[in-house]
Amino acid sequence: MTRVIITAIGSAGDVHPLLGIGAALAARGHEIVFCSHPPFEAAAVRQGFAFKPIGTADEYAAAMANPALWNPRTSFRTLWAVIAPTLQPHFHTLVSLTNDDTVLVGSLWAFSARLMQELYRVPLVSVQVSPSTLLSAHAPPTHPRLTIPRWLPLGVKAALLRLIETQVLDRVCGPELNALRAQLGLPSVTRIFGHWLHSTDGVLCLFPEWFAQPQPDWPEPRRQSGFPLFNETQAHEPDTQLEAFLEDGERPVVFTAGSTLTDHAHYAGIVNAVLRDTGLRGILLTPHTQQQAETATAQLLTRRYVPMRTLLPRCRALVHHGGIGTAALAYAAGIPQVVTPFAHDQFDNAQRVAASGCGVRLDAPLQARALARALRDVLGSPSIATQCVRMQDRLAAAPDGCDTAARYIEGFMRRTAREPAIAGVPSLVLAAGGQGA
């Protein structure tokens, strides 16, 4: 039995796909140790995984509630300020957990796993949940502030991308990462996001080629597994009121802002205004106050959580924030999307949904009149309806994304025993055994 240590850092959209992949690996007989933020412990334990926390629940809650995390001008620096203090403790945890038959799997921010690969030659599969984090001059990602126009000559795009890497990204992450690397006897690195963080063993991209065409400057070796359609992360009791709402009348539209920090009361007000304007019925998924949660009207039902994989096939359309996992579930359900990005990779995902012909992108500030118009457009478009069915059929015919990812990870098992890659590994590493994240 191989031990697979999965490091999943970020929001639910970053963590849930790795829960699905872990479940597929566990079903194939492997031991799973899941390292993530404390709020995801219950979901990991439900899958039968051992769980190791990264940071504390209070730190994670404070980060998610920080408006700076959701402001495109400050989000990257704010996120790094949360992650940087966990690098060394999590590295110690990985040292203590790794045996001679271990494979590491890590999401975008799993820097500690990358350090383990360098020092101990432990096999590592880097996971890219969305294509925007594969910094490509051939197809620059869509960003609210730093989008490089695609019509520019390739050399100019490459130079601009290198400038963003070295003068923006490296300046934020480089000092603390390289200080830790110096303690571990490793040389400094540059181009952290464009080059260093990608495993030299293999990169796993959790999206299909039709969503993001492979580019010549993407890291190698790599595999595109397709979407990991995994959404069942919470225990879910029967909901008779929801069932009655779904059965009584026209199929509703689902609205969600995901885990994005937003004014949920304002968002709910926009949803109500859109439903009054269009005459549509809706389901709003929101972590709102108790006064709004679990309430219903003739047109709107509000819930904190409903598994979208079972909900969306019974609905007409999805209005969402641009999380790639949410978009994938809408593709699988064959329904049109109105994507309202707020931050991070959401803008790039929104642009790809629009380019696929299955929806439209509607940037902030979100307004009821514009959202109502966008909903009418997608629901009244024969071309969008046809394309949604095509994408649904395409996904239905494709191999299971979680299983494909699991089989790719299995390809790295038993390649090499754990051994230091650099002579004179510092005592910091050798003494790390009993420390946790």
Q: Parse the chain into domains and list their residue ranges.
A: 3-229+400-430, 240-397
Model confidence band, residue 234 (pLDDT cutoffs 50, 70, 90)? low
- Region 333-346: mean pLDDT is 92
Model confidence band, residue 232 (pLDDT cutoffs 50, 70, 90)? low
- Region 126-147: mean pLDDT is 88
- Region 5-9: mean pLDDT is 97
Model confidence band, residue 294 (pLDDT cutoffs 50, 70, 90)? very low
> How is residue 24 written in tokens?
């597929």
**CB within 8 A of 157, min separation 6: which ones?**
137, 138, 140, 148, 149, 150
Model confidence band, residue 116 (pLDDT cutoffs 50, 70, 90)? very high
Residue 143 has pLDDT above 70, yes or no: yes
- For 105, 211, 263, 337, 340, the CA distances from 11, given in Å and listed in that order, are 17, 21, 18, 21, 17
Computed over every residue of the chain, the mean pLDDT equals 88
pTM of this structure? 0.89
Q: Are 204 and 127 in contact (CB under 8 A)?
A: yes
Is 421 or 252 the better-scoring residue by pLDDT? 252
Residue 437 has pLDDT above 90, yes or no: no
**Minimal CA–CA distance to 164: which of 173, 151, 176?**
173
- Region 171-177: mean pLDDT is 96
| Three-state secondary structure call for residue 368 | helix
Lowest mean pLDDT among 165-179, 257-271, 326-340, 413-427: 413-427
Residue 420 has pLDDT above 70, yes or no: no
Q: Are 385 and 7 in contact (CB under 8 A)?
A: no
- Region 386-411: mean pLDDT is 95
Residue 428 has pLDDT above 70, yes or no: no
CATH number for the region 3-229+400-430 comes to: 3.40.50.2000
The CATH homologous superfamily for domain 240-397 is Glycogen Phosphorylase B; (3.40.50.2000)
Lowest mean pLDDT among 145-154, 214-223, 282-291, 397-406: 282-291
Give me the pLDDT at residue 386, please: 97
Exposed / middle / buried, residue 186 (Cβ in 10 Å: 0-12, 13-18, 19+): middle
| Three-state secondary structure call for residue 360 | strand
Q: Rounded to an integer, what distance in angstroms lies between the CA atom of residue 30 and that of residue 16?
A: 19
Is 409 or 72 the better-scoring residue by pLDDT? 409
- For 196, 323, 361, the CA distances from 341, given in Å and listed in that order, are 28, 8, 8
- For 101, 165, 173, 298, 348, the CA distances from 168, given in Å and listed in that order, are 38, 6, 9, 50, 19
**Minimal CA–CA distance to 271: which of 250, 249, 254?**
254
Instruction: Give the H or E element holding residue 361.
Output: strand 359-361
Is 280 or 363 the better-scoring residue by pLDDT? 280
Model confidence band, residue 288 (pLDDT cutoffs 50, 70, 90)? low
In the chain, what percentage of residues exceed pLDDT 70?
Answer: 90
Return the bridge partners of 204, or none. Answer: 127, 223
Give me the pLDDT at residue 417, please: 39
Residue 146 has pLDDT above 50, yes or no: yes
> How is residue 110 written in tokens?
């799993």
Q: Same fold for the domain at 3-229+400-430 and the one at 240-397?
A: yes
In the chain, what percentage of residues exceed pLDDT 90?
Answer: 69
- Region 291-310: mean pLDDT is 75
- Region 283-305: mean pLDDT is 72
Give me the pLDDT at residue 426, please: 42
Strand extents, DSSP E, 148-229 = 202-205, 222-224
> Is the four-CA dihedral 184, 186, 189, 193 of positive or negative sign?
negative
**Minimal CA–CA distance to 319: which of 298, 293, 339?**
339
Return the bridge partners of 296, or none. Answer: 301
- Output the CA angle 346-218-111, nearest 5 degrees: 70
- Region 9-28: mean pLDDT is 93
Give me the pLDDT at residue 421, please: 43
Residue 42 has pLDDT above 60, yes or no: yes
Q: Are 6 and 106 in contact (CB under 8 A)?
A: yes
- Region 211-232: mean pLDDT is 91
Give me the pLDDT at residue 296, please: 53
Model confidence band, residue 181 (pLDDT cutoffs 50, 70, 90)? very high
CB atoms near residue 241 (< 10 Å): 11
Structure letter (DSSP) for residue 296: B
